Structure 1
Amino acid sequence: MTLNTVNTKDAAVGVPAFPKPVTPAHIIRDDAEAIAVARQLASEIAPGAAARDRDRIWPVKELDAFSQSGLWSINVPKAFGGPEVSYATLAKVIEIVSAADSSIGQIAQNHLGVVAAIRTVSDEAQQRLLFGEVLKGVRFGNAFSEFGSKRAVDFETRFIDDGDHVIVKGQKFYSSGALLAHLVPIVALDDQGRAWYAIAERDAPGLTVIDDWSSFGQRTTLSGTVILDNVRVPKTHLVPGYKGYEVPTADGAIFQIIQVAVDTGIAQAAIDETIAFVRSKSRAWVDSGLEHAWQDPYTIQAIGDLTLRLHAAQALLEKAGHAIDRAILDPNAETVAEAQIVTAQAKVLSTEIAIAATNKLFELAGTRSTLAEHQLDRHWRNARTHTLHDPVRWKYAILGNYFLNGEKPPLHAWS
């Protein structure tokens, strides 16, 4: 076995862990409160988003406010003291936060996905233990993907049995949120090649998180390298994630719907910025005979088109959330396939409108909108980066095979 090789020259000076919350997080009561809290949080984090992106300022206070607000426990089941909101509501929450700062919206993705997986595959004792941590405000990061593997589902990170612990060895990349996490779920294989989530303490000996994320977009998701040098994880925190894909479950669709919500949030932000700029700063074109840019019929048509396409993506996003709710209540091949298919449709539209809206912003707002002082390029950079997570060209193939040939989507976190 050969481990991936990326820049690890600074491994000895990895980022220290941040402390767990001292004050228990708020617990959301219902769906309506979740939306209200998300809107309030968005209003607080939006003003600093451009500066955080420009200077790559870690969103420490903003992330603390996010997780302490109760929004990181909204899919904890009611049976364990959580609000268990609809996934349509959860997706809307992520969209609202992502419109304010898409990096912060994305950081919550893997945490919420792991919470969903624990519900699906863990026994009651493990659920009670881990959900209890989530309700306190503890954040899961992630150490899932690997840099140089042949395919996204190929993992070289493994663990071996060590009594009441397992020992994990490997290396990860694209580890969004790991820097500021309290616990780090690690995808690692057992001796049968099955993938588990080994949930390690962020400050566990041998676990090093390196701040080496150099992408031009989603700059403050705090992704980067995680080195796992014989990290000990108690078996109480070893979650059999593979079980979520052995039989039809909603786990894959849940990971996907949060991706969709981030992209609709980016699109919403770009359209809002376009309208604000055209209304206040753009000039009417010389040949138009108009006094204001916002009177331009071509601009009016373009805004109408972008808004229509965004609303279509949002409608499918909501429909996908309700389909996921049904698949959770009654998991079978048909309900899970429906959830995957509607989510795939939403993924296609959200990707297309995120890229279109962030690109069209500059055409409609004009040359002045490219000035560095406005920092509007962050929306395009964020959309272009985040929509690469899984290619929509394969979503078209999944949709075509389902509707034409009755072939259900594959069961994994990218479908």
Structure 2
Amino acid sequence: MNVIAKTDRVAVPGVKRPEKPAHIIKDDAEAIAVAHRLAAEFVKGSADRDRERIWPAEELDAFSQSGLWSINVPKAFGGPEVSYVTLAKVVEIISEADSSIGQISQNHLGVVAAIRTVSDKAQQELLFGEILKGTRFGNAFSEFGSKRAVDFETRFVDHGDHVVVNGQKFYSSGALLAHKVPIVALDDDGRAWYAIADRDAPGLTVIDDWSSFGQRTTLSGTVILDNVKVDKAWLVPGYKGYDKPTADGAIFQIIQVAVDTGIASAAIKETIDFVRTKSRAWVDSGLDHAWEDPYTIQAVGALQLRLHAAQALLEKAGHAIDRAVADPNADTVAEAQVFTAEAKILSTEIAIEATNKLFELAGTRSTLAEHNLDRHWRNARTHTLHDPVRWKYSILGKYFLNGEKPPLHAWS
């Protein structure tokens, strides 16, 4: 395996594209089967990749070449157009194996959904065609020093057949190993567009400076944009996804939920395995095996119950998003947002609880560095900081008590 190690504030060149075009998934069942096959491989090196911060370069090639990065391309353009129930399950399966790899796919899949919503037919044919071949999008959305997440300083200037983008981004998950980098940039009217630049475009610099203790191999560092030229064919009017009711925000959100349920599922499986194979019975229990402990039995049952509840809401949210995609209006979109917010709350809570309970139930030896089980807690604690659930509770209360629909943006 070619190991690409961490650099220190050094600009990183782009990656070579696979020579062959990506596979195209034929249906929902194949998407789930392919996700399970990949997950079985990804999990083998996940602890080492986290420990050594090894970039998942080969894994991402396998992931995108499998066809799973084009599963929400519409059938009208040659894509499989699987349900969002299936898409969320795919992300959950991959995230259970390696949550960083699961998260890296998020913005790509979200941009694919946005292209369906806001692009004209000519642009859709161009971009969906590239995505079906295996072109992998990273992201350059968020900014580090702005007052709020929606306050962007990155802007572009119109130059006729192209635009020129200037600014700086952070939290740029996947940009290092992308083929194209969608940049959220404002026009002269303050409207946000996706300016999709070549990864090696002159003036586009990606720096590996992501120092978080969790989701370490999402490579979510800095992107510097210095007079980056983007052809207008690759300029997507993202703002149109939020100036009227669409499912775009809920789609970005449901993928976040799927990452968290994947982390929770992985942690519960690690807990069960450790308790059954390594943990000792407590001295006062009078038992021979830790897995006979009635308190441990109760706790594992409770964890599974809460995970299944989160997964059930995730599925319910997926169905609601499918309805909103098919018939976008104020009511269907609000329903998709609300069900997704419910799933986000439960997935956050079970991810934190399961990754914490792992150590309580497995015992002191589970904290040894050789096991690297703390990666699950670190990943859960880091990833669940996206889109705080205290505001999700507010969305639910306003909707159910006062009939107030959620705001339209990528965080709702």
TM-score in same-fold range (> 0.5): yes
Equivalent in 181, 185, 192 of residue 182 of structure 2: 185
In 2, distance between residues paired with 1:359 and 1:247? Answer: 41
The answer as to whether partners of 1:168 and 1:231 remain within 8 angstroms in 2 is yes
Counterpart residue type for residue 166 of structure 1: V
TM (norm. structure 2) is 0.98
Q: Is residue 111 of structure 1 aligned with residue 111 of structure 2?
A: no
- Taking the aligned partners of 1:296 and 1:81, their CA distance within structure 2 comes to 54
> Which residue of the other structure, out of 12, 15, 22, is the alignment partner of 2:12?
15
C-alpha distance in structure 2 between counterparts of 1:371 and 1:10, whole Å = 28
Partner of 2:204: 207
Whether 1:381 aligns to 2:381 is no
1:33 and 2:30 matched = yes
Instruction: Please report how far the alpha carbon of residue 163 of structure 1 lies from its aligned counterpart in structure 2 after TM superposition.
Output: 1.4
| Residues paired across the two proteins, number | 406
Whichever residue aligns with residue 309 of structure 2, its letter is A
**Structure 1 residues without counterparts, runs of 5 or longer:** 1-8
The equivalent residue for 1:175 is: 172
TM-score by length of 1: 0.97
Matched position secondary structure for 2:48:
helix
Q: Which aligned pairs between 1:8-407 and structure 2 lie closer than 5 A?
A: 13-407=10-404
Output one character per residue of 1:290-326: Cα deviation in whole Å (capped at 9) or x when no partner.
Answer: 0100000000000000000000000000010010000
Q: Is the contact between residue 88 and residue 318 of structure 1 (CA under 8 Å) also seen in structure 2?
A: yes
SS of the counterpart of 1:119?
helix
CA distance in 2, matches of 1:69, 1:268: 23
What is the Cα deviation at residue 10 of structure 1?
Answer: 7.1
Pairwise CA distance, 1:395: 0.2
Coordinate RMSD, CA, aligned: 0.9
SS of residue paired to 2:100:
helix
Q: Which runs of 4+ in 1 moved over 3 A?
A: none
Residue by residue over 1:118-164, the C-alpha shift from the partner in whole angstroms, topping out at 9 and shown as x without a partner, is: 00000000000000110011100000000000000000000000110
C-alpha offsets along residues 368-394 of structure 1, whole Å, 9 cap, x if unaligned?
A: 000000000000000000000110000
CA distance in 2, matches of 1:293, 1:81: 53
Q: Secondary structure of 1:287's match? A: coil
Question: Over residues 207-263 of structure 1, what are the superposed CA-to-partner deviations in whole Å (9 max), with x where a residue is unaligned?
Answer: 000000000000000110000000000000000000000000000000000000000
Q: Which amino acid aligns with 1:274?
A: T
Counterparts of 2:273 and 2:37, CA distance in 1: 21
Question: Take 1:338 and 1:240, find their aligned partners in 2: how far apart are those partners?
Answer: 25
CA distance in 1, matches of 2:325, 2:102: 23
Aligned residues of 1:217 and 1:386 also touching (Cα < 8 A):
yes
Matching residue of 1:4: none
Whether the aligned pair in 2 keeps the contact of 1:21 and 1:138 (CA below 8 Å) is no
Cα separation, 2, equivalents of 1:123 and 1:18: 30
Matches of 2:241 and 2:57 in 1, distance apart?
32
Amino acid in structure 1 at the alignment position of 2:110: G
